[in-house]
Structure 1
Amino acid sequence: MGREGQNILAKTAFLIVVAACIVSVAWTGGADTSPDETDRITEPLSGTAWNLVEFRADNGSVVAPLHGKAPLIAFGESGTLTGSAGCNLYSASYRINGSTIAVEPVVATAAYPANEQELVRQENRYRELLVAAASYRVEDNRLTISGPSGRELLAFARAEQPESAPLLATEWHLARYTNGSGSTVASPVPGTDITLVFDGDGTLSGSAGCNAYSAPYRVNETGLSVDRVIATKASFTEPAGVMEQEKAYLDLLRSAAGYRIVGDTLAVIDGSGRAILFFTTEG
């Protein structure tokens, strides 16, 4: 039986209708300080997104982020900033008054690829500098954040508007997943493609690498819960490790408590705030 047939077989085992409420945040390319449609003044950084290009290292020098792992920051319209610190996703409350900015302690997921100590140090330093922010300025397409002494700490370039795939109606492909403790991150077994699709009828489905699966889910803003995952019963011996990977994936999916979407990446988060599954829109 083909993958499409397996998906249909698994999904038709039940039908549960759950009301889904998703709040989407618009990413815009420029600042808007004019009154919006409700006569509320939008603060200058609201709705903008930026990629880190330089930061102040521990020794005081100005350095570039690791190649391909530059942090991203996006300012929401409700006093919350979110983004990727290079691997982990983070969020924090912030306040702006004129040219001053204050960032509350950052809440972040806690998953890293094994043996990525440089990335760990960069992420820790980035979060430390972000919380130390005292003022900011925007010049053309550059955002600079400085500390209380006026010393520049972080410099960003304006990000291109991401395609920002929606949670529903997107076929997500597993890119990385964590072990049970969340201390290491693994890539899928070569030759396997684990997929996830959220449908508007309150069911999710996909391929776990060997078997098709489906389950009812509930979602509210950034909260996510998955119940009663069912799967077909085929057993594969090749490629090596595919069945162990499938069990680990389905167990992690059952422990979902929330999600974040940054650009074209979906992170599923457990009840402890750890990112346990990372998906992209490309297989």
Structure 2
Amino acid sequence: MGREGQNILAKTAFLIILAACIVSVAWTGGADTSPDESSRVTEPLAGTAWNLVEFRADNGSIAAPLSGAEPLLIFGESGTVSGSAGCNLYTASYRINGSTISVEPVIATAAYPANEQELAQQEKRYCELLVAAASYRVEDGRLTITGPSGRELLAFARAEQPENLPLLETEWHLAHYTNGNGSTVASPVPGTDITLVFDGDGTVSGSAGCNAYSAPYRVNETGLAVERVIATKASCTEPAGIMEQEQAYLDLLRSAAGYRIVGDTLAVIDGNGRAILFFEAEA
């Protein structure tokens, strides 16, 4: 897997975990801060997102993460930390008391490119260090996590603020979709283009790859319901798998219960809080 592919995975990872945990990440540059007992500046971490810039290597030295495979750390509002370890997705429970922090054992997917041993080693080390966290501090947009001895383990920079696009008046193109239980993510069949457009009159429409479709929808700040999807009845034979993909897409769309927009990407969420469809805005 090339670095560009890892970037795509990291971006997708961010959306999966973000949506699955129903986390509304606060992309603001400043938060209320207060000095802790050692006069260092701290802040609540819930709702913040961070990119890894340094970590403690196995030999004790300070190392930078692999370019294009920097882990992403998201602190959820419900005591869940999650993100991308560079290639794989991870999640874990965390607790904070003042400036102390504890992270439960990490649960992660296990997909590694066969020729990326260095990436696999970095991910393993990152997860080990995250679980070893004992305290933290935030200074000048930098999050530092230390171990029980006070030794610095991980250092992060606050994730940059993206510019969100509106749900309406944007043509969305399917980039990824999940299987029925949300455990795997697939890309559309090459040569197909699945689109989604929300009209101001309460109608959603687009192409499902072969057939055109439309449906009434209801939406509020984060909730989304799609009702009575109607599609044309054409049957396409090429490319292979197009009709199976179309049926899967329409079934997922019918199960929509919410959405999130991060940068130029729209994630549609089902009633169980799982991200099921990922769209990118038309360039």
Report TM bin, short chain.
0.5 to 0.7
Work out the CA distance in 1 between the residues paired with 2:57 and 2:97: 25
Residues 113-128 of structure 1 mapped to structure 2, 5 A cutoff? none
Partner of 1:185: 185
- CA drift at 1:246: 1.2
Q: Residue 243 of structure 1 aligns to a residue in which SS?
A: helix
- Gap change, CA 1:227 and 1:188, over 3 Å in 2: same
Structural RMSD (CA): 4.4
**CA displacement 1:83-124 (0-9 Å, x = unmatched):** 642565869776463x3345689899x797998998899778
Partner of 2:255: 255
Where structure 2 has 5 or more consecutive residues not aligned to the other structure, the ranges are: 1-22, 35-41
Work out the CA distance in 2 between the residues paired with 1:111 and 1:247: 28
Work out the CA distance in 2 between the residues paired with 1:45 and 1:93: 11
Equivalent pair of 1:264/1:281 in contact (CA under 8 Å): yes
TM-score (norm 2): 0.64
Partner of 1:155: 155
Partner of 2:237: 237
- Gap change, CA 1:201 and 1:243, over 3 Å in 2: same
Letter matched to residue 230 of structure 1: I
Equivalent pair of 1:79/1:95 in contact (CA under 8 Å): no
- Gap change, CA 1:202 and 1:75, over 3 Å in 2: farther
**CA displacement 1:49-100 (0-9 Å, x = unmatched):** 4212344578977665565343334568x67777642565869776463x33
**CA displacement 1:113-167 (0-9 Å, x = unmatched):** 9989988997787667556543222344432122344343332123222113344
- Gap change, CA 1:213 and 1:143, over 3 Å in 2: same
- Gap change, CA 1:259 and 1:129, over 3 Å in 2: farther
Work out the CA distance in 1 between the residues paired with 2:125 and 2:270: 25
Partner of 1:195: 195
Equivalent pair of 2:27/2:159 in contact (CA under 8 Å): no
- Gap change, CA 1:143 and 1:172, over 3 Å in 2: same
Work out the CA distance in 2 between the residues paired with 1:252 and 1:129: 37
Residues 25-104 of structure 1 mapped to structure 2, 5 A cutoff? 27-33=27-33, 43=43, 49-55=49-55, 64-65=64-65, 67-73=67-73, 84-85=83-84, 88=89, 95=96, 97=98, 99-101=99-101
- Gap change, CA 1:123 and 1:197, over 3 Å in 2: farther
Q: Residue 251 of structure 1 aligns to a residue in which SS?
A: helix
- CA drift at 1:259: 3.4
TM-score (norm 1): 0.64
Letter matched to residue 50 of structure 2: W
